[in-house]
Chain A
């Protein structure tokens, strides 16, 4: 019994300490990466390739998801809004949810898997094969060389991908409303415009910027923390996806309370 209690306390204590350690290391990475931003000559040449990898390559999957989200939103909105509520509220619902929530969050969650795990595995492999050390010995700051271009690329490209996703999501919702719900374009557009605020778009952009930073930051963090070979790489990738997804949802709630 005592042993059991001791074990439980030890477990909690151990977890607390390692959690705080992790936070400390993450903070250290953040400070280091921030300081590394001034090594512009190191990271700038890698920004564009990373933008292509993080952003451009993510467009198809983001659009795929947005398309189906739009369709589902449209159908479910019309299913929900029966009776007294005018049918053009389907447009309102599709537009509002795509811009405010589903566009940024679903895209970010997908990219947490696609981009975050990719970065984590890549950096993890570089770490365990000493490529990160090799960078250091060749007088490259690994944070400037590896972390900064990835985070910056995501910060630039996530909003772009999200805007495209929102556009496609609304378009597919619109198409669905026209084809399957017997709505007319003017009705849908009326609903779309009804409660639209330009601020909504800024909200989506701000959110996606933060999601981009989180997904790539977490990927870099776990990637660079990787230990013990291939198994460690796998573990880092998994952790990246889990932690990045959780942080995305927390941030989502945070922005909703702060900005709305």
Chain B
């Protein structure tokens, strides 16, 4: 009896302490394992703070330990803790960039060769990785990149899901993309009017963006009737046209906006892929017949639109963040 009671009290106490200790450690984000220390030097760090995530190929592999100015005052040293068994690329560099639209930043480890356009800082000390913070303008790039990724997801979803409902959703989504791109071109036109220095290329691309959007909308205005007549092929054809238009647009953006290049490239691939997919569906090899009701497709599209919208709003509210490169 006495023994049993002792055991019970002991058990409850241990359970309670375990919940407290393990819970705390777990909520803190796991035990700090023997992490590998990395250092990186950058001209500035934007809004990166201690505790920010460290990503490698999109996977969270550690966190930022500390951010402080180098002794010589010429750089900022970022101390990173990463998983000990992480294999870094030979020309590893660190890109400091926003993690999400919420404004928290991350440090991404990447191969320098893939991102030549960023001005990584070479710090004259052994073992310090070159780092660069995304310049303000590059937020556009980063966001566009994210949108492109989202579109990739959408295009992947195409393979498994294409129903009338999703077609309709997609139509709406693309409609929205059209509206948004209209807005975008409008803004860019406004900006162009306001700031004469804005390159002609931007103007041209804005015009083309507008054209593409109009084209997209035109194509999809007919979707309702198309669906009613089950003339999916026709719609897909139109979609194909739209896609190629979009591709042209991105190509021209490519040409005109050097700094947007990498993002646009990715968007381009995305669109091209979408195009291919549509072509495949059209020719009957696709899985159109399956008509799976996968809502994530529409959701993905909607999210892409949302992000575009957010971008637009942000551009409207803080044009300098995106356009300062040519103005100031």
Contact = CB atoms under 8 A, between A and B. Distances in A.
Question: Are A and B close enough to touch in the complex, i.e. CB under 8 Å?
Answer: yes
Given A48-B5, A48-B6, A52-B5, A160 B23 contact: no
B27 A160 contact: no
Interface residues of A, number: 24
Contacts of A142: none
Given A49-B5, A193-B27, A196-B27, A201 B12 contact: no
B19 A95 contact: no
B8 A163 contact: no
Interface string A153-187: 00011011101101100100000000000000000
A198 B16 contact: no
A55 B24 contact: no
A167 B29 contact: no
A51 B6 CA distance: 9
A170 B16 CA distance: 14
Contacts, number: 56
Contacts of A35: none
8 smallest A-B Cβ distances: which pairs?
A160-B16, A167-B19, A163-B20, A196-B27, A163-B16, A51-B9, A163-B19, A52-B5
A147 B151 CA distance: 69
B23 A193 contact: no
Given A198-B28, A201-B20, A164 B15 contact: yes
A231 B10 CA distance: 37
Contacts of B28: 193, 196, 198
Nearest to B4: A52
Chain B interface extent, by class: 10 to 19
Contacts of B17: 160, 163
A56 interface: yes
A115 interface: no
Interface in B1-45: 5-6, 8-9, 12-13, 15-17, 19-20, 23-24, 27-29
Contacts of B15: 160, 164
A160 B29 contact: no
Given A201-B23, A201-B24, A161 B16 contact: yes
Contacts of A201: 20, 23-24
A164 B16 contact: yes
B9 A55 contact: yes
A146 to B, nearest CB: 19
> For B6, B13, B16, B24, which residue has the most chain A Cβ atoms within 10 angstroms?
B16
A151 interface: no
A156 B14 CA distance: 12
